[in-house]
Amino acid sequence: MDALLEAALAARKHAHAPFSGFQVGAALEDDSGRIHTGCNVENATYGLTICAERVAVFKAISEGARKFRRVAVAADTGALTPPCGACRQILWEFCGDIEVLLVNLEGRSESLRLKDLFPRPFDATFLS
């Protein structure tokens, strides 16, 4: 299995999801090949919960990474789980049209482009 998919599956095990039980892991590969992982972290108010993809992006940015190749998202679902809308926005702003790999615990996976999941993104070009 691809190392990025394995990293996302491993990160999922660290998820803090006591309310939903929905554990997600993400792994983001930067342009130098380093892998930055994240997991979802729930909060009792739900609104302060943060998704695995955003944790991985923010962690990578905080570690100095600025260019990215691809991201993997792992969840325990039959249907492969894509990033939510908020995560798609963050991924677009920080990563652009990267490859998005989805994987479940049975090892089923799929590769998409972020542009296919987020066809009309809002970004800084609208602010000028």
Which residue among the candidates 29, 42, 53, 63 is catalytic per the annotation? 53
Alpha helices in 28-109 (DSSP H): 52-62, 85-95
Answer yes or no: 93 catalytic: no
* 3-state SS, residue 10: helix
What whole-number distance in Å separates Cα of residue 91 and Cα of residue 26? 12
Active-site amino acid positions: 53
